[in-house]
Amino acid sequence: MNKPTVQDVFHRFYPSYLETYTPTAMQAKAAHSIINCKTGAYGANTSICENCGRLQIHYNSCRNRCCPMCQTLPRDKWIDARKEDVLDAPYFHVVFTVPQELNPLIYNNQKVLYDAMYHSVSSTIEELTADPKHLGAKVGYICVLHTWGSELNFHPHIHVILLGGGLTEKNTWKDKGENFFLPVKVLSRKFRDNYLRKLRELNEAHLLEFHGSCEKYRNYYYFKELIDCCYKKEWIPHCKKTFNGAQSVINYLGKYTHRLAISNRRIIRMDEKTVTFHVKDYKNEGQWKELTLSGVEFIRRFLMHVPPKRFTRIRHYGLLCNRSKKKHLTLCRNLLGCKAYLSRLRGKETAEIVELLYGIKVTECRCCGGCLKPVPQRRIILRN
């Protein structure tokens, strides 16, 4: 099959995957959702054309955040809502990663150690930006956790969209223009110290689990050896250049906030045993190449990136914290003299949003252009 989807891969190989592996409850739920998305398993909306009488059936989606077919509308609605949070000021994209030696331990303790990554990133940024030597102001930023590399391997890292200025204690605006205001080496070492300190605290409080290849870290000396090894490494965060204007920030956000481990467009073909998809070769300047995996291995890697139950992947801090965002952003706009960007989707129904974003009139008959009228759903009661 050429140009298959993730759903096609799960239909073909998930039974074989279950013969070898036992998924967690959240992984099994994600797999079930992907397999049954838009198949009628989640019900359907039925409409009839008032003009020609044609019946149209639309199968409901699963709405699972791991399903590639269900992310477009939530992503675009989220991006539109974030327009109201954007300022005409410099922005930076910073990526925080951890050494690969920690990957097995993090996978064993996903919720606890993902949270520890967020807290360490937040502590690092707030401590350094509050220092007058670097900026001396309160900044705003959005953190998004990704757990995958291009080859679907486990590679946890946090993307940060960081406002390049902030409010001082006297409520004045302060920035350093287009230059990144935090020294990368200082940023790296501060994040390393914060995260490894958090690891030690969690271990001492007996809040970590050790399974599989991590079993040896139950021993105090092996755990200490792991921490010491990570201390010796340079944790190199990656910083990209500033964005060109507020609209660029808005468009850029969508590339990272609702991204999944792999999208349907990256899958090239599938046969009886394997799946082939595009990956980036970072050793060759990010050139695209093909990678072929067995179908079972593809599903195993895909399900590694299902987040824990009720885990929040997108988090807002500082000036963008939900509790005080409105007050802070209004003050920042007044100080900067910039305009407010208004959401164009706020208060609109789903049908209006779909037409506005994609030009699709879901209430219009595909055959004659007449108006579609919903068919009332009837409940059937079986009696003995």
Instruction: Give the DSSP letter string of 37-77.
Output: TTTTTT-EEEEEETTT--EEEEEPP---TT-GGGSHHHHHH
| Whether 210 contacts 223, CB under 8 Å | no
CA distances from 92 to 73, 127, 163, 168, 255 (A): 26, 17, 6, 19, 14
Question: Would you kindly state where each structural domain of the chain is located, as residue ranges?
Answer: 6-65+349-374, 71-261+304-336
Return the pLDDT at 350.
Answer: 85
CB atoms inside a 10 Å sphere around CB 187? 22
What does R_g of the chain's alpha carbons equal in angstroms?
24
Query: Is 13's pLDDT higher than 90?
Result: yes
Q: Which of 16, 5, 2 is nearest to 273 (CA)?
A: 16
Angle of helix 6-20 versus helix 25-36 axis, rounded to 10: 140
Query: Is 378's pLDDT higher than 90?
Result: no
Return the pLDDT at 381.
Answer: 45
Give tens-digit pLDDT for 316-340.
999 998 888 888 998 999 998 887 7
Give tens-digit pLDDT for 161-218.
888 889 999 999 998 877 788 888 899 999 999 999 999 999 999 999 999 899 999 9
Confidence (pTM) = 0.90
Give tens-digit pLDDT for 44-84.
888 888 888 888 888 899 999 999 998 888 888 888 888 88
Pick the more confident residue, 271 or 363. Answer: 271
Q: What is the mean pLDDT of residues 306-324?
A: 91
| Whether 116 contacts 179, CB under 8 Å | no
Give tens-digit pLDDT for 241-285.
766 666 677 777 777 777 889 999 999 999 999 999 999 887 777
Fold of 71-261+304-336: Replication Protein E1; Chain: A, (3.40.1310)
